[in-house]
Amino acid sequence: MTLYDLANPTRFLKLVKAVLPWLIVATVAALAVGLYFAFFVAPEDYQQGQTVRIMFVHVPAAQLALMCYAMMALSSIGSLVWKHPLADVSAKASAPIGAAFTFLALFSGAVWGKPMWGTFWVWDARLTSFLVLLIMYLGIIALWKAIEDPIKAAKVNAIITLVGVINVIIIKFSVEWWNTLHQPPSIIRADGPAIHSSILIPLGLMALAFVLLFVTLHLMSMRNEIMRRRIRAMRMRAASVAPAASSSTVTKAAPAGAR
């Protein structure tokens, strides 16, 4: 089954109905296993102590915040270039989820930063660019709500989303371009991860759980958006039929009144 096969909303909804229960079970199981390893198996850090466990939520949340935006960008390309019928649905569905992950990353980072840096917030390059990411998510959500025409809203948001990719690049390379409080990449490196396996495995499990959570929420949100659009289309058709029916009734009644 290709992406074009899923261009039919009815076919897509059937697929979602089939896979969603399994995804929910997999997500719950992955979260349970990941949280168990994060809070009961992973050791304390010799410097950070128990506060290191915040990392198991903070890092996956930050990764998913960027992943959501990447999904929005790809969906925007699909909407602008290939006119895929569900591309704008995917983009719209990703925005609230991405905003939630971004907020979680900022909040958990602030909680983690207080004992480590002595403050909840600094105007660090990565923190600032992540705050910009949250503002962009909220702005895109607001635009979707402000523009009633879905086609026009999709086009405007697709352009803004693609421009915003610049900020994602800044987030990714901020620790390399500027001197920040955040450490350089410690997982994806040319010479291998710099994190011990006792920390890396729970972190990987939590990352997997968050990915499954995103996929589940994204499919649910897309399903709901398709249903909302169908209801909107039905209401518009009903509204257009009602005046025509009323006009027809008046026309038929006119000769009788004349007699």
Q: What domain range is 79 assigned to?
A: 5-180+196-235
Residue 183 reports pLDDT greater than 90: no
SS3 190: coil
Q: For residue 250, is it within any domain? A: no
Task: Give me the percent of the chain exceeding a pLDDT of 90.
Answer: 60
**pTM flag (> 0.75):** yes
Average pLDDT over the chain reads 88
pLDDT(175) > 80: yes
Residue 236: the pLDDT is: 84
Q: Which residues pair with 49 in a beta bridge?
A: 45
| Confidence class for position 259, pLDDT limits 50, 70, 90 | very low
Alpha carbon 248 to its chain's center: 48
- Asked whether residue 149 is domain-assigned, the answer is yes
DSSP assignment letter at 186:
S
Q: Is the pLDDT of residue 242 over 80?
A: no
Q: Is residue 245 part of a domain?
A: no
pLDDT at 85: 86
Domain assignment of residue 135, yes or no: yes
Please tell me the predicted confidence (pLDDT) of residue 206.
96
Residue 227 in tokens: 């249903």
| pLDDT digit string, tens, across residues 36-80 | 999 999 988 777 888 889 999 999 999 999 999 999 999 999 999
Determine the pLDDT at residue 247.
Answer: 57
The residue-averaged pLDDT of 111-124 equals 89
Distance CA 221, CA 92 (A): 9
Q: How far apart are the C-alpha atoms of 233 and 227, rounded to whole Å?
A: 10
In a domain, 188, yes or no: no
Q: What are phi and psi of 147, to 5 degrees?
A: -95, 115
Q: Name the domain count of the chain.
A: 1
State the pLDDT at residue 232: 84
**Residue 246: inside a domain, yes or no?**
no
Q: Does a structural domain hold residue 242?
A: no
pLDDT interval class at 189 (50, 70, 90): low
Domain membership of residue 94 (yes or no) is yes
Mean per-residue pLDDT for 103-130? 92
Q: How many C-beta atoms lie closer than 10 Å to residue 171's C-beta? A: 21
% of the chain with per-residue pLDDT over 70? 86
Q: For residue 251, is pLDDT > 70?
A: no
**What whole-number distance in Å separates Cα of residue 84 and Cα of residue 106?**
33
* Contacting residues for 79 by C-beta, under 8 A, at least 6 apart: 87, 88, 91, 154, 155, 158
**What is the predicted pLDDT for the residue at 258?**
46
pLDDT of residue 15: 93
- 217 or 183: which leads in pLDDT: 217
The neighbour count for residue 68, using CB atoms within 10 Å, is 25
